[in-house]
A and B are shown apart, each in its own frame.
Chain A
Amino acid sequence: MPELEITKIQELVYELWVGDVMHNDVVTVTPSTPLSNLREILRDNRISGTPVVENGRLVGIISMEDFIKWLCEGSPGCAVADRMSRNVIAVCADEPLIQAINKLERLGFGRLPVIKRGTKEVVGILTKGDSIAGLLKKLDIDYRQAETRHPRSSHIFEDIVADRSSLIFEYDVAGGGDVERGGASASGLKTSLMRLGIDPQTVRRAAIATYEAEMNLMFFTNGGLITAIIESDSIRLEVTDDGPGIENVDQAMRPGFSTAPDWVRELGFGAGMGLYNIKTCADRMRLDSTVGVGTRLEVEILVGGKREVIRDNATVTA
């Protein structure tokens, strides 16, 4: 998909700032630096030019070219100030990289000093190489995010030859209220569903339902199992545990009803919205519970649902 890639790079160029890709450790000289010293400075730092700075402010730029010209003239004794160009074009650190690249291109320069807006203080130097390296780095970072956008397994259901096929993912959830671990199942399911190329809205619904079910297992049971059965047109979740069970299912379904103790509330839970949230995400929902035996929750979410706005139309069978 070459077109897509170009768009992506264009986007990145607009998102990057000069300050993000410039070299901070810029080598500078002062106007009074003797030109005879310049050769070592350029050679030792492997650079072909350097900004001239006086009292922290940018006053000029001197390049290898200026130096060679000076050599050709028989190296008369003089200082940087006598040979530098005073009409310096610089870029600001908070300028978009794209502007700086245009400047480099238009002027045919290999480098531009970077100054702080307003103060003219030299804070870095930008080369063509930096710009490219910055883009590559950014591409690399974004690759991991892009991965879920270009799913690798999105054709799996078409590739498999069968009258019916389904994928089954299982997640073990520990009980005992270990808040740090909670949500790992929902997160894992979300990532997996994105990789299957399922639309983000459907994925979010499945992830939210899974998360709420996971938190219920974590806070109220000794642990349980979440099974996700994925077919080409639906996601089914089965959540089971072996106790303690819900005393009054109708009451538990009511938004705002919660049996959570204060410590759970202070963690941001116990708003009494858990089962209700699951219901708003589901196309079908079934909750069976027997006190002392356990609870079984079944949720069905249709893939590619038309709901722009989530409607409250799940069928609940208790």
Chain B
Amino acid sequence: MKLKDVCKILEAEPVRKVDSSRWRSREVASCQASDLISDMLSFRGPGSLLLTGLTNIQVIRAAELLDFVGICFVRGKRPEPEAVKLAEEKDIPLFATPLLMYESCGRLYAAKLPAGTRKEASPIA
């Protein structure tokens, strides 16, 4: 699945008006949904798409550190200006969908996008 397919499925719009050739053909390997930064950071797998309702600059940091392919903000949320600025600097595509988190996940899962891999939670020795 490519980013342009994700946009279609989620009825999402790019947040920044950059020329679409910059992102539309990028391959989305998997997806993860989270509103908590540390949870995002517990996932592995570059090329993952992040779905989140969190809009502050730290979401972009997480995407940068983990090499996410893009971020889609759910339920009509728009990222804060500093977040957009950092995304621009780091070349991370941002999208916004009016859909809720639950519906967004459901649609992408139904379209066969796999969940991002995650270390199995195991008790601390």
Contacts and interface: CB of A to CB of B under 8 A. Distances in A.
Interface in B96-124: 117, 119-122, 124
Contacts of A311: 119
Contact of B42 (A179, A200, A273): A273
A202 to B, nearest CB: 13
B54 interface: yes
B65 A190 contact: yes
B58 A187 contact: no
Query: Which of A211, A212, A309, A310 gathers most chain B CB within 10 Å?
Result: A211
A186 B60 CA distance: 12
Interface string A1-43: 0000000000000111100100000000000000000000000
Interface string B14-25: 000001111011
B124 A208 contact: no
A15 B24 CA distance: 8
A277 B41 contact: yes
B82 interface: yes
A269 B38 contact: yes
B37 A15 contact: no
Contacts of A270: 36
A279 interface: yes
B56 A179 contact: yes
A268 B20 contact: no
A87 B34 CA distance: 55
B91 interface: yes
B61 interface: yes
A122 interface: no
A239 to B, nearest CB: 16
B60 to A, nearest CB: 8
A107 B120 CA distance: 58
Nearest to A208: B41
A14 B65 CA distance: 27
B7 interface: no
B39 interface: yes
A272 B85 CA distance: 28
Contacts of A269: 36-38, 58
A187 B65 contact: yes
A273 B61 contact: no
A64 interface: no
Contact of B121 (A20, A255, A274): A255
A311 to B, nearest CB: 8
A179 B54 CA distance: 13
B29 interface: no
B119 A267 contact: no
Interface in A37-59: none
A204 B42 CA distance: 11
A271 B38 contact: yes
15 contacts: A16-B21, A179-B57, A182-B57, A183-B57, A187-B61, A187-B64, A190-B64, A250-B124, A253-B124, A254-B124, A268-B52, A273-B36, A280-B42, A312-B119, A312-B120
Interface of B: 19-22, 24-25, 35-39, 41-42, 44, 46, 52, 54, 56-59, 61-62, 64-67, 82, 91, 117, 119-122, 124-125
Given A145-B91, A186-B61, A273-B36, 17 more contacts: A15-B21, A20-B19, A20-B20, A183-B57, A183-B61, A200-B46, A200-B67, A254-B124, A267-B54, A268-B58, A269-B36, A271-B37, A273-B38, A273-B39, A273-B41, A316-B124, A316-B125
